[in-house]
Amino acid sequence: MKTIRKSVIAGSWYPGNPDVLRRDIEGYFRSAAEIKFDGDIMAIVAPHAGYIYSGQIAAQAYKLICGKRYDTVVIIGPSHRVAFHGVSVYPEGGYQTPLGIVRIDEAFAHEISSLSKVVHNIPAAHLQEHSIEIQLPFLQVALGEFSFVPLVMGDQDENICWELAQAIKHVARERKILVVGSSDLSHFHNYQEAAKLDAVAIKRLEEVDAEGLLKCLSDHSTEACGGGPMAVAMLVARKMGAIKSKVLKYANSGDISGDKSSVVGYVSAVYYQ
């Protein structure tokens, strides 16, 4: 395989031992609520914090796709460490986690790069970024072997979101794809203020209202580090015919740590036909 992006968070954000990692994720799935679900899931919103904080929230969504088959998974996350314009794709090779290497869908990655003027190959955007990698072990346990396209957003404005969503839909064509929007919600408010801010974002997620979410982020009535990825996930899902949504689970770090003075919010949701 050409270029392997090594894990940078195994052993810290989630277990580095593959047996422990798989056991933990399977435990999250067992603990997730049983939700009666009838629909073809096309997109997921999931958090990207350390598993001790957000693993159970993410598991509520990933449990619903266990055993399903997708031609490609498109994971979209925000850039936390590198500033750049547009969107960066990791175009070839694979990402490595303790559970193995997940290969890049190189045909999809190259086509989206050639089609969209906002998508570029910026390797530095991926090297230390956790928002993509954190989703992979859940997908490895839920799906088994799969290929994916990692997209890191440097800009998250409405125009970039629309263009990226259109490009993903165009390249997908008749493929069966899953889009994952990687995002946490509000950061470092007290418990009550966080719940108030996060409720605004959750309402937009429930209503499949990508435009409303971006507007609320712009006027600061809500917060999300991955607002763009969540919006793109909803936009692509809508373009593929997913008009139904279900917000599955919400919590914040204070629910885990007991420290409610400064918390981070987490939510999971699915979009389906």
Quote the pLDDT of residue 36.
83
Q: What is the CA radius of gyration of the chain?
A: 17
- How confident is the prediction for the chain on average, in pLDDT? 96
Per cent of the chain over pLDDT 70 is 100
The CATH number of the structural domain formed by 4-272 is: 3.40.830.10
Backbone conformation region of residue 2, classed left if phi is above 0, alpha if psi is from -120 to 50, else beta: alpha
Region 259-268: what's the mean pLDDT? Answer: 98
Q: What confidence tier does 243 reach under pLDDT thresholds 50, 70, 90?
A: confident
**How many CA atoms lie within 13 Å of 162's alpha carbon, on the beta-carbon side?**
5
pLDDT digits (tens, 9 = 90+) for 11-46: 999 999 999 999 999 999 999 999 988 889 999 999
Contact 29, 62 (CB under 8 A): yes
Domain limits of the chain? Answer: 4-272
Over residues 96-107, the mean pLDDT reads 98
HSE, side-chain direction, 13 A CA sphere, residue 189:
16
- Residue spans of beta strands (DSSP E) within the chain: 4-5, 41-46, 72-78, 87-89, 94-97, 100-104, 119-120, 147-153, 177-182, 187-189, 244-252, 263-272
> CA 164, CA 74: separation in Å to the nearest integer?
11
Q: What is the pLDDT of residue 225?
A: 97
- Average pLDDT (157-179) is 96
Question: pLDDT tens, 176-207?
Answer: 999 999 999 999 999 999 999 999 999 999 99
